[in-house]
Structure 1
Amino acid sequence: MLNIGCHLSSSKGYLHMGKEALSIGANTFQYFTRNPRGSKAKAVNFADIAAFNNLAEQEHFSTLVAHAPYTLNLCSADEGLREFAVQAMTEDLATMEYLPGNLYNFHPGSHVKQGTEIGIQLIAQGLNRILRPDQHTTVLLETMAGKGSEVGRTFEELRAILDRVELTDKMGVCLDTCHVFDAGYDIVDHLESVLEEFDKVIGLGRLRAIHLNDSLNPLGSHKDRHAKIGQGHIGLPALTKIINHPVLCTLPFELETPNDLNGYAEEIRLLEEVFQGG
């Protein structure tokens, strides 16, 4: 079974997202924990979470991916912004304890001319304040395209963060197909080599989710512009190989393509057609 979903708006709550996911043939979904360009999270609706948990159990939902807002930057040059990121992520993870066993994904951050090494150190320091031994959520570092001063453009940078995190068993990685392609990893013609490199540097056991996106730009462009499935430089044949790869096929795949709900439904149907079960 293909574990596939898309990014849904959390404005109407978890139960609404669950029903929306089912309506388009999805068995997982991704959502922002708060406004992606804002700061304050909505109050926790415990009844809504309980209703969703019941639905998810009945419908055999796969693992969900919560996404931290884009405004968070654990390696900002501004101490106040770093402190805000720590506070927001701590709050998000506390809420996710009511949806145990799922994933929390975030962009590692931008070092803003401080240098990659300082950025890596600051991210790890922040995570060491945020993570708790008893939490039931795995926190994911997302692979980045490498635009500007982003940290996480290479597998080595992600590994350097992981090596500095004390509760390393609470950490994993989310591979974004558009991002790694734009970062220069050729998943079109050399998927096996890329996965071998990931395994050597990070370890495939840490790969917990995939953002399945095509790319508007060519290999190594460092642009981070997502395209609809089959309408970019990665293409449907390469993405088909990814969802059918025996190492990857059981992971949750989340679409972040430029679509509305009907567009996501069409992409899910397309990917279900080409999925062979690994």
Structure 2
Amino acid sequence: MFTIGCHLSASKGFEAMGKEAIKIKANTFQFFTRNPRGGKAKAIDEEDVKKFLKLAEENNFGRILAHAPYTLNGCSADESIRKFATETMADDLMRMEYVPGNYYNFHPGSHVKQGVDVGIEFITEMLNKILKKEQTTTVLLETMAGKGSEVGRNFEEIKRIIDGVELNEHLGVCLDTCHVYDAGYDIVNDLDGVLDEFDRIIGLDRLKAIHLNDSKNPFESHKDRHEKIGEGSIGNEAISRIINNPRIKDLPFFLETPNDLEGYAKEIKLLKSLRAE
């Protein structure tokens, strides 16, 4: 099954997001757990959740993906920012249990001149405080483009985080096509080579989801600027190879392109036309 969706607004609740996904011919979606700049999360409406779970089952939805706010930085040099990140993620994971068995994605963070070793130490410390043996949500580390002092700019850094977490059976990876291309992984000309490298360093069993984005910038630019599918430096031919690659084609794909709902509908239609079932 081709599991494809996009980023939707959670302001109206789970059922509304599910209906929007169906409207644009999607069978999954991504959403922010709260305002992407941080702040208090909207209260969970249990009746809304029940309606969504029924809707998702009736329409054969794949796993949905919650995205942590951008302000979450578990490896900041500022202790108060690290505390905010820890408390926010802990709250988010508790709330995700209302929709059990899904994914929660976060950017590893920026070490802010402390060095990557310190950054990784803080991230693993945070995850060791938060993860619970009984949780059903899989936490995904997102691959990053490598701008500034980002942690997660290569597969080795992601692997070091995973290895430092005690309950790492609850961890996976979300590969962002724009980010890895900007980071210097040539998914346009050597997709299988990149997947081989991922498998050798991290293990393909850890790859749980794909952020499917084109890139406004050229290869190895370290810029992180998403573009609409087929309108950037990755292009439709490479995108087609990604969604049809036998090693990853059954993963859920989430669009984070600069689009409105109508634009996402057009992209989903395009991607389905490129998909060889």
TM value normalised by structure 1: 0.99
Aligned residues: 277
Gaps of 5+ in 1: none
Query: Which position in structure 2 is the counterpart of 1:222?
Result: 222
Q: Where has structure 1 moved over 6 Å in runs of 4 or more?
A: none
Percent of paired sites with the same residue:
64
* Deviation (angstroms), 1:44: 1.2
Alignment deviations for residues 115-154 of structure 1 (CA, whole Å, 9 cap, x no partner): 0010001000000001000000000000000001000000
Q: Which amino acid aligns with 1:205?
A: D
Query: Which position in structure 2 is the counterpart of 1:10?
Result: 10
- Write out aligned runs for 1:126-275 (5 A): 126-275=126-275
Query: Which position in structure 2 is the counterpart of 1:80?
Result: 80
Query: Which position in structure 2 is the counterpart of 1:56?
Result: 56
* 2: CA distance, partners of 1:251 / 1:273: 18
* Deviation (angstroms), 1:38: 2.3
8 A contact 1:39–1:71 mirrored in 2: no
* 2: CA distance, partners of 1:88 / 1:49: 21
SS in structure 1 opposite 2:193? Answer: helix
* Deviation (angstroms), 1:276: 0.8
* 2: CA distance, partners of 1:137 / 1:87: 17
Residues 1:111 and 2:107 are matched in the alignment: no
8 A contact 1:6–1:28 mirrored in 2: yes
8 A contact 1:131–1:170 mirrored in 2: yes
8 A contact 1:8–1:30 mirrored in 2: yes
Alignment deviations for residues 51-103 of structure 1 (CA, whole Å, 9 cap, x no partner): 10111111110010000000100001111111111111111111111101100
SS in structure 2 opposite 1:153? Answer: coil
* 1: CA distance, partners of 2:57 / 2:31: 19
* 2: CA distance, partners of 1:90 / 1:13: 20
8 A contact 2:38–2:72 mirrored in 1: no
Q: Which amino acid aligns with 1:150?
A: E
* 2: CA distance, partners of 1:256 / 1:80: 30
8 A contact 2:7–2:31 mirrored in 1: yes
Q: Which amino acid aligns with 1:100?
A: P
* 1: CA distance, partners of 2:73 / 2:45: 27
* 2: CA distance, partners of 1:154 / 1:38: 26
